[in-house]
Amino acid sequence: MNEIILLKLGELVLKGLNRRSFEDKLQANLHRRLHPFGQFRVYTRQSATYVEPMQDSCDVAGAYEALKKVFGIVGLSLARPCEKDKDAILAAAQEFLGDKLRAARTFKVETKRADKTFPMTSIQLSQYVGGELHERYPNLTVDVHHPELTVFLEVRDYSAYVHASPEPGAGGLPVGINGRAAALLSGGIDSPVAAYMIAKRGVALDMVHFFSYPYTSQQAKDKVLELARLLTPYTGQLTVHVVPFTAIQEELRRSCPEELFTIVMRRFMMRISQKVAARCGAKALVTGESLGQVASQTMDAMHVTGAVVNLPVLRPVVGMDKEEIVQISRKIGTYDTSILPYEDCCTVFTPRHPRLRPVLGEVEHAEEALDIDGMVQAAVDGIERIQIRG
């Protein structure tokens, strides 16, 4: 029988009457992710999901790597199905795991018997297979506490399965099960991590990027689009809404007190992002703000910038320090792109002494001379929408 991919579900199994909707969303996400690798049958039984290649031409190795980044899966293994017979299970273990069995020094066997009609208990099957393997591989010693190799046996509805060394999955919840949000995406380290973290909680995303040509270059824009592409294995297809922001920044430089420039600029970003959210059906905004990291990310500043929108503002990295954020960016593969030396619009016209504790009334007074609605609408009308596929 061909190898299959065995997926272990995470917190989906804790859901109650709505569990089916979570599983259906995960199934749809799996089918989309598997499409480039051939035709697979995907089905769920007894809190496990099976990905079975339907043709010899299927790229099982490519599919396995892709599924590591699908939210909703906590673990995955390449497994060998076999008949539900103790000797068939032993033969499958030897054939499928022979190289690992010859290379290891210590091992143990763990059995899960989901099919209670199987005539041996889990312990009995583990003892039988473990004893036979110990005799046939003289290099192996049993170590039930810290083995180099664990042979996993599962006896389920349709077949028995043999696998080893399960790898961790992406965890979280299936993307889309918790609605849609609009995420502000700069060229820095923090915002891609924030997008990844909120997608992990089952949120589908549209991305909003503010582009200030000629103050920011085409390379800076390309960098952001590459960051979006690097996120798609986790998020699925993304739309990047590229907002022309030059006119707004130039007007703010002329009309706003320098120390309030960044705060007022961010308020415009939030207003525009809320307009984008309304267009794409998003119910929240997502930012990469980390409390106290820069002047515009103090508690007072966050209050003032968030005051112009009525959508929830989700800040997944707000309590993390920079090193924690960097570690996640390395893990998801965005770090090397984020540190490329192409500046984004947040570095344009940076004030020498930005206000750390802005007062809402003072900021609103500074905006009174501006045609806020007209400026926002002009930016929204000029948005370029770019589809990003992984």
Tokens of 18: 């709505």
In this structure, how many other beta carbons lie within 10 angstroms of the beta carbon of residue 5? 24
Q: Which of 75, 230, 228, 94 is nearest to 162 (CA)?
A: 94
- For the entire predicted model, the pTM comes to 0.90
- Please determine, for residue 81, whether its predicted confidence score (pLDDT) is greater than 80: yes
Q: For residue 204, is it left (φ>0), alpha (ψ between -120 and 50) or beta? A: beta
- Residue 19, pLDDT score: 82
Q: For residue 246, what pLDDT band results from cuts at 50, 70 and 90?
A: very high
Distance CA 95, CA 79 (A): 12
- Residue 1, pLDDT score: 53
Q: pLDDT tens across 315-342, in order?
A: 999 999 999 999 999 999 999 999 998 7
Map tokens 């004893």 to a residue.
131
Q: pLDDT tens across 98-133, in order?
A: 999 999 999 999 999 999 999 999 999 999 999 999
| CB burial of residue 381 (10 Å; 0-12, 13-18, 19+) | exposed
- Residue 323, pLDDT score: 96
Q: For residue 165, what pLDDT band results from cuts at 50, 70 and 90?
A: confident
Q: Which of 63, 344, 363 is nearest to 212 (CA)?
A: 344
Q: Which of 47, 45, 51 is nearest to 11 (CA)?
A: 47
Distance CA 204, CA 236 (A): 8
Distance CA 186, CA 174 (A): 25
- Residue 264, pLDDT score: 95
Tokens of 149: 């190799």
Least confidently predicted of 28-37, 190-199, 290-299 = 290-299
Q: Which residue has the higher pLDDT, 333 or 15?
A: 333
Instruction: Tell how far CA 324 is from the center of its chain.
Output: 16
Question: Which residues have C-beta within 8 Å of that of residue 250, sequence separation ≥ 6?
Answer: none
Q: pLDDT tens across 274-319, in order?
A: 999 999 999 999 999 999 888 778 999 999 999 999 999 999 999 9
Least confidently predicted of 30-39, 160-169, 183-192, 346-355 = 346-355
- Please determine, for residue 242, whether its predicted confidence score (pLDDT) is greater than 80: yes
Query: Which of helix, strand or coil describes residue 71?
Result: coil
**∠ at Cα 242 (236, 244), nearest 5°?**
170
- Residue 166, pLDDT score: 85
